[in-house]
Amino acid sequence: MLNKLTLTQALTGLKKKEFSSPELVQACLNEIEKEDSKIHAFLHINPNALSQAQKADINLPLGGIPIAVKDNFLTMGLPTTAASKVLQGYLPHYESTVTRTLKSAGAIIIGKTNMDAWAHGSSTETSDYGPTLNPHNTDYLPGGSSGGSAAAVAAHMCIAAIGSETAGSIRLPAAWCGVVGFKPSYGRVSRYGVIAMASSTDSPGPLTKSVADSALLTQIIAGHDPYDATTSPLPTPDYHRHLQQPLKHLKIGLPKEYLEVMQPQSRDLVLQAVKKMASLGHTIEETSLIHPKYSIGVYTIIQRSEVSSNLARYDGIRYGLDRSHFSDEAKRRIMLGTYALSSGYYDQYYTRAQKVRTLIIQDFHSSFQKYDLLIDPASPGPALKLGAAANDPMFGEMQDILVEPSSIAGLTGISLSCGQINGLPVSFGLIGPQFSESLVLQAAHAYESAI
């Protein structure tokens, strides 16, 4: 079935004229029609996808490839709601840099995927339009906030997808849905036209069926953007080509504090993956980092503070509905952020959180003086059951505990599967210094090829 192809396989098939772009798009649309009523990965389907496929230029880097996009990326001609009823029916007047770049490369946006409303969560249960379910077992959650994108890839309803991560929102759903989730360094991919959640950590990135696919997509969407002053001016390497280059033997750190957080069965699978990495010639050493539990408080204060600022624009005056349509989760985050930034509490909470954030960044910097990469599983265990996030305001922070430190430090990281427990995927992950995307992708590709 064409919809089950990886991105690299689909591109090869199109160029060899083994099938056409309309056939590839139709295969994905058929799968959406067949499966999405159960999984609910999509909020909007592109009604012009087939006609766009008929005009696709397969000589472009992504010519004719159907890609799903998280519903917090502005898309002209397609609604963008961030899964919130505040923006119900909103049609953007301009395009996000990521989606504009994808379209310029020939990709066809097949639809917009479900997410936690405003990206507030790690389960996709806080969507105002109902939860997305895990394709491996629909009694379980897909993770979040990019749960719709991860589920769409895992269920073969698209060839690849785009998500965004603030503290695990790409890597956690990738882990729970058993796909590859790649988080570029903060500033490597433009945030222009992405509905802001926490502006100092938001990072767009791909969810794919293979590491090579993630390398290819990142290659296309990465780079300096004059519309986003936080993007790096550093040149973008050819990540996909670098995968084929010989990989030197790496020195990789295994943080013991991260293993302590993991569930025993998941930890055993991760340690098996560590042995496989060692068998490839890499040196793996146990090391020590600041315990990830300290990142929870730091992230909570900084993220809520930035949320309270970013959501202030949604007042129902210029666009969207009034603030009474905010969900309880959004209201909680606005109130906590406003409190943390208020006079008399700013230094006690926000300033202190930023100081601890600096300590975490410095801790990583010291560690990367000794190690090329660090092992960082995306989740303490496999997916949790539907309803697990209900009435738990700290659910997301607890599930993202292993990836929050690298996110608030602006590092790059990847999640890929290393086994299953009762049919549910378990993740193995790597993180590297800022702008070490090539090395992280190379190491992950070598591991994936070995297994």
Residue 160 DSSP code: E
What is the side-by-side strand order in the sheet with 412-421? 42-45, 108-113, 66-70, 160-165, 203-208, 180-183, 412-421, 424-432, 373-375, 251-255, 283-287
Q: Where are the beta strands (DSSP E) in 184-235?
A: 203-208
Contact assessment for residue 273 and residue 446, using Cβ atoms and an 8 Å cutoff: no
Q: What's the confidence (pLDDT) of residue 393? A: 81
d(CA 403, CA 54): 41
Closest CA to 373 of 445, 426, 267: 445
pTM attached to this predicted model: 0.97
Rounded Cα distance, 115 and 83, in Å: 6
Residue among 64, 72, 68, 105 nearest 216 (CA): 105
Q: Which fold has domain 2-450?
A: Amidase signature (AS) enzymes (3.90.1300)
CA distance 410 to 205: 13
Go through 381-398 and write b for each residue having 16 or more CB atoms within 10 A of its CB, e for each that does not: bbbbebeebeeeeebbbe
293-349 pLDDT, tens digit per residue, is 999 999 999 999 999 999 999 999 988 999 999 999 999 999 999 999 998 899 999
Q: What's the pLDDT at 394? A: 87
pLDDT at 162 over 90: yes
Q: Which residues have a catalytic role annotated? A: 70, 145, 169
Tokens of 127: 């969507």
Asked if residue 197 has pLDDT above 90, the reply is yes
Residue 119 pLDDT level (bands cut at 50, 70, 90): very high
Structure tokens at 200: 């100092």
Nearest CA among 211, 210, 266 for reference residue 426: 266
Pairing of strands 373-375, 283-287: unpaired
SS3 track for 80-119: CCCCCHHHCCCCCCCCCHHHHHHHHCCCEEEEEECCCHHH
Question: Among candidates 177, 193, 117, which has minimal Cα distance to 143?
Answer: 177
**Helix, strand, coil percentages for the chain (3-state, nearest 5):** 40, 15, 45
Per cent of the chain over pLDDT 90 is 96
